[in-house]
Each structure stands twice: as C-alpha cells, then as structure tokens.
Structure 1
C-alpha cells in the first residue's frame, strides 16, 4: 500500500513539474529570442516576427499551439522558430525527470536548477552570452537550497562554488598569458561556480570532463563532415557545462535516495 502511495505521489510530482516546465519553457524561449534581439522580456505582448500580429491565447499554449498550427503563424503562415518548441520540450523533460528522481522539494529545486541551466545554455548557443544576472540567479538558487537543508550540505556547496569559479578562471588566465589572447569566455568560470553551489565540489571534475567531451565531440563531428574547425573558432562552452550539470544532479540525487 505504501509503495502504491509513493508511486502515485511520484507521478503527481512528475506531471506537475512537467506542466510547469512547459510554461517555464515558453518563457525561456521568449527570453532567449527577445534578449538576443535586444528587446524587453517584460514589456510588450508577444507578436509574430513576420506580420506583427499580436498573438492570442490560443497561439501561446506551450507545445500544443506549435503542433496544432503545424509550426506556422496562424495569419501569415510563416514558419515559427523551431527553437521555441525545442526549449519547451526540454523544459518539460527537465521537470518530469526532476519529479521522477525526487518527488518533493528536492525535485522542485532540481527542476529550477535545470530550467536556469536551459536558459543559460540556450543564450550561450544563440549569442555566446552568459548574462551575469541569470548566472547570479542560478548561484542564489544554489545557496538558498543549501540553507534550506537540501543535499549536498551548505559547506560542500560553498567549496564547490569557490572551486568551480577558481579552476576555470585559472585556466582562462593561464591561456591568456600563454597565448596572448582570450581563450575562455568570462561567463564560463561564473557558470561553473554557480553549478558548484548546486552540486558541491565532488561532482565538478565529472562535470568538467563530460563538458569537455561534448566539446570534443562537436569538433570531431565537424571534422567528419569535412568542415574542420580552426583553433581560434569559438565554442559555446557554457552549453556543454549546462548539458553536463543537470544529469550530474540527477545521478547525485538518485544515488542519495
């Protein structure tokens, strides 16, 4: 009987965080598209980028509107940016996985962690930009979770924040001194520091390793397609850090359960 109750509770948390993820994903998609176009996220109603028609509520239902409208504006039939759908689906997945991993406050906190990483990763992919205010929000969330008593403990989180920032800052500074130019964006150390405030210091080596492997995979994939990258081609390392950090949280909480 207890197992049935727990399964039902898990399902409710997964469903609830999944629905909330769809809403958050819609906001994150709008944030990415508006910030990269230097537009306000708060002011102004959503409108078609091509014909300018103000979107109605039926046009703004996360995921469902895209499917029903077949990915096109209802008025001018211009294709809707597919990144909208991709971000919304990823946000739903983050919420569902968090709810399944740890139904309750820990899962809700993990979903917030994933959604903030999603926003940062999407902005870095779109514009090589990791906004300080969003990274600071991620860092604050890690600290709040630690003060609330969620695993890992606050001391481990603080050391994770220090180590995360310090390691990548030293790498970037060493590269700059050795090569005479920037090789690592200034936002990457801040992002890894914020991730450390969520995961603690123990998982940071794994996050860095996986993120580096993601980057190596992108380079190797380009080479296999006959488009090798030059040494000075920039890669959005923040995307790789974000993609490595959320699964690390899932594994950490899964083993702790």
Structure 2
C-alpha cells in the first residue's frame, strides 16, 4: 500500500505540463476502450448466452471493421489519430467510420485533462477519473439503448463505498446510507407512479445508478442531486421536443450522471465550489 501511494505521489510531482499530458493520453486510451464498452456491452446483454458463448465479449473478437469484418492493424486503432489518417473511412472497404468514435475518445481525454486540474491529490484524482469514466460510459449507453447495465452500476456503487472507506468528504456511514436512500427514493417513486397511472416512469437501472451516486456523494447530497437531475431532465425533454419534435420517454441516466458529477466536483475539489458543500 505504501509503495503504491509513493508511486502515485511521484507521478503527481512530475512537471505540470508533462503530468497533465499523461492524464490526457490516459483519457484517450480509456476513451478508445469506452467505445468498445458502449458498443459491445448492450449486445452482450441482449444476446446473453448466444453471442457470449461464441467468443463475443469486451476483448473478443479483436477490433475490426463492422462492414467488412477485416481485423484492424495497430496503426489503424490509435485513438483519434487513426480516424484522421484514414479520413473517416475503412482502409480495406472504404466504409464510413462514425465520427462518434474519435469524438468519444477526444471527449474522454478532455474530461480527464480537466479533472487533472481540479483534483490535486493523488487519491482524489484517481477516484474522480474512475467515477467520471463510469458515468460517461453509462450516459452514452443509456442515450443509445435506454440501458444502465448492472455490470457498470454495481461496480460503481462498490467503488464509491471503497473510496469513502479510505478518504473523501463523505464518511463510509454517509456513503452507505446514501446508497440505500438513493435506491429507495427512486424505487418508491417508480411504484407510486405505476400504482397511480399504471405506467412505468423509469427503469430499475436508474435506481441502481442513484444508489451508486449516493455512495459517492453521501445521503446528505441526494436532495440536491435529485433536483438537479430533474431540472436537467426537463431541459432535455424541452430541447428534444423543440428540435426533434419527439415527446417519447427520455433516458434519465445522463441527467443523474451530470448532477452527480457536478456535486462530486463541488464536494471533493479544492478549486471549484458550487454551493453544495
């Protein structure tokens, strides 16, 4: 434990420019993996016991073109750079490669870079990188598929409890109560809406995500988090109806993720204060 802490301390004592560059490069790499998770994890869930039984998971098969199935070489799989070199097309069949891939990688790198300025202590930075990567992954999956997979929400919950057993603004007791209260709050709302209207207002994944966020920010912050998420949901719905003329169900996961991220930054960062302390 002491050796790992010394290594983290050494890394953060590197010259500022080099350190922030390293964090940004890490964000690029994890952004590339994020693309894999966002694309493959919903397929693994929908085809449980079928595709997974034939070597389909987050590591198999190897990266390949979705159109021609040709495996990619290392230079064709470099985050952002490969997309630019290939001009957004497959080297083998010239099929278009979605701009979503480089945008996700660049977005993850920018997010990591920003966090490296906000969190100056080694453990707090590492914790923030873990939390925000999971929140970005869950948000992108929910936007695309209306799913919040247990394979992401449950590890995020346990990670929050583990982090606050070591350090953080919230105590382990507050984090534990936050996880329980977060789940119960939306569970009760879900059943209240269903009993009154006969409709399901949200999915069980939302309960688990709020439970995970409760573990990260503590039970005291849950009212602020829910209010922020509700406001974000209203804005999202209005924009969607105004721009796309769509009034169907909206994914609530990104709204919860955004609210949780803002409150966590305000709690844990020594630089930003957002009235939630």
Q: TM-score, normalised by structure 2?
A: 0.83
Instruction: Name the structure 2 match of 1:3.
Output: none
How far is the alpha carbon of 1:79 from its aligned partner?
1.6
How far is the alpha carbon of 1:137 from its aligned partner?
0.8
Equivalenced residue count is 249
Asked whether 1:43 is paired with 2:60, we answer yes
User: Aligned to 2:73, which of 56, 67, 75?
Assistant: 56
Unaligned runs of 5+ in 1: 1-5
How far is the alpha carbon of 1:256 from its aligned partner?
7.7
Cα pair 1:13 1:100 within 8 Å, conserved:
no
Instruction: Name the structure 2 match of 1:146.
Output: 164
Separation of aligned partners in 1, 2:170 and 2:138: 23
Separation of aligned partners in 2, 1:226 and 1:27: 30
Residue correspondence of structure 1 range 160-199 to structure 2 within 5 A = 160-199=178-217
Cα pair 1:10 1:99 within 8 Å, conserved:
no
Cα pair 2:24 2:112 within 8 Å, conserved:
yes
Q: SS of the residue aligned with 1:225? A: helix
How far is the alpha carbon of 1:178 from its aligned partner?
0.8
Instruction: Name the structure 2 match of 1:92.
Output: 109
Instruction: Name the structure 1 match of 2:23.
Output: 17
Instruction: Name the structure 2 match of 1:106.
Output: 124
CA separation of 1:17 and 1:82: change in aligned 2, threshold 3 A: same
Q: SS of the residue aligned with 1:71? A: coil
Asked whether 1:244 is paired with 2:259, we answer yes
Q: TM-score, normalised by structure 1?
A: 0.89
- For residues 105-132 of structure 1, what are the alpha-carbon distances to aligned partners after superposition, in whole Å with 9 as ceiling and x for unaligned? 1111101100011111111111111111
Whose relative contact order is higher, 1 or 2, with alpha carbons under 8 Å and at least 6 apart? Answer: 1
Separation of aligned partners in 1, 2:94 and 2:232: 36
Q: SS of the residue aligned with 1:37? A: helix
The root-mean-square deviation of aligned C-alpha atoms, in Å, is: 2.1
Cα pair 1:99 1:108 within 8 Å, conserved:
no
Asked whether 1:235 is paired with 2:229, we answer no
Instruction: Name the structure 2 match of 1:29.
Output: 35
Instruction: Name the structure 2 match of 1:67.
Output: 84
How far is the alpha carbon of 1:146 from its aligned partner?
1.1
Instruction: Name the structure 1 match of 2:151.
Output: 133
Instruction: Name the structure 2 match of 1:225.
Output: 243
Cα pair 2:118 2:270 within 8 Å, conserved:
no
Unaligned runs of 5+ in 2: 1-11, 45-55, 273-277
Instruction: Name the structure 2 match of 1:254.
Output: 269
Cα pair 2:65 2:72 within 8 Å, conserved:
yes
CA separation of 1:73 and 1:10: change in aligned 2, threshold 3 A: same
Cα pair 1:21 1:95 within 8 Å, conserved:
yes
CA separation of 1:236 and 1:83: change in aligned 2, threshold 3 A: same
- For residues 114-164 of structure 1, what are the alpha-carbon distances to aligned partners after superposition, in whole Å with 9 as ceiling and x for unaligned? 001111111111111111121111011101111222332212211211221
Separation of aligned partners in 2, 1:157 and 1:11: 34
| More deviation, 37-46/23-32 | 37-46
